[in-house]
């Protein structure tokens, strides 16, 4: 058990490094957003995954765990945007085996392997959750005036309404994606602000 705890501790330190792995789309979106890292991305993906699973009647616990693990390998490979991927290859099987396969319990390895296969409804929903977080981020950047983000939202090669929905596989994700397009990023606090100070 002592060796197991040592390996778990090592893994937890590795998980912590996800806060320091910047997402590389910043290069091509012309933004310097230091709040956007693999850990913050993963957090919202997991919340999105919960809602998609509930809407689809899928196993939400599995979907959430897939979302939490979906970019774990980037602690070792780093994140790559679509320009990088033209030139860089990764041995994702080796990363998965050495990173999660070396843990004392096989559950995380099994869940991550199922996600990578993209065969189960849960795996497809988790990937849709990943794509929806990108859509949310693009809407937030466009709302701040980022013209490149707006081009991505409209369709970089062929402009069309709801272009990013093409990346989604399930109707539940497409419906949520359409709502994300139509909702203003700041609308969540429209009825919460006040100019009256609380008195105690």
The proportion of the chain whose per-residue pLDDT surpasses 90, expressed as a percent, equals 80
Distance CA 51, CA 177 (A): 12
pTM for the model: 0.93
Answer yes or no: is pLDDT of 49 > 70. yes
Distance CA 183, CA 164 (A): 15
Q: What is the pLDDT of residue 191?
A: 87
Q: What is the length of the chain?
A: 200
Query: What average pLDDT does the structure give for the chain?
Result: 94
Instruction: Pick the more confident residue, 192 or 199.
Output: 192
Q: What is the pLDDT of residue 199?
A: 74
Q: What is the pLDDT of residue 141?
A: 96
Domains and CATH numbers, the chain: 2-80+89-185 (1.10.3210.10)
Answer yes or no: is pLDDT of 194 > 70. yes
pLDDT one-digit tens code per residue, 55-83: 999 999 999 999 999 999 999 998 888 88
- Among 84, 186, 182, 74, residue whose Cα is nearest residue 130: 74
* 37-45 mean pLDDT: 96
Whether residue 43 contacts residue 120, with contact meaning beta carbons closer than 8 Å, is answered with no
């Amino acid at each position: 058990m002592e060796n197991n705890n040592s390996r778990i501790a090592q893994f937890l330190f590795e998980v912590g490094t996800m806060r320091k792995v910047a997402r590389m789309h910043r290069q091509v979106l012309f933004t310097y957003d230091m709040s956007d890292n693999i850990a913050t991305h993963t957090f919202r993906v997991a919340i999105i995954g919960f809602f998609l699973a509930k809407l689809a009647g899928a196993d939400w616990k599995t979907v959430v765990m897939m979302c939490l693990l979906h970019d774990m390998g980037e602690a070792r490979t780093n994140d790559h945007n679509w320009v990088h991927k033209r030139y860089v290859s990764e041995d994702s099987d080796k990363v998965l085996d050495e990173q999660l396969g070396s843990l004392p319990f096989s559950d995380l390895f099994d869940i991550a392997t199922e996600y990578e296969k993209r065969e189960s409804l849960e795996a497809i929903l988790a990937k849709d959750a990943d794509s929806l977080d990108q859509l949310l981020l693009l809407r937030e950047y466009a709302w701040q005036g980022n013209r490149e983000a707006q081009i991505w939202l409209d369709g970089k090669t062929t402009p069309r309404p709801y272009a990013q929905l093409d990346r989604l596989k399930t109707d539940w994700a497409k419906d949520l994606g359409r709502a994300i397009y139509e909702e203003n990023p700041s609308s969540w606090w429209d009825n919460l602000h006040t100019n009256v100070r609380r008195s105690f």
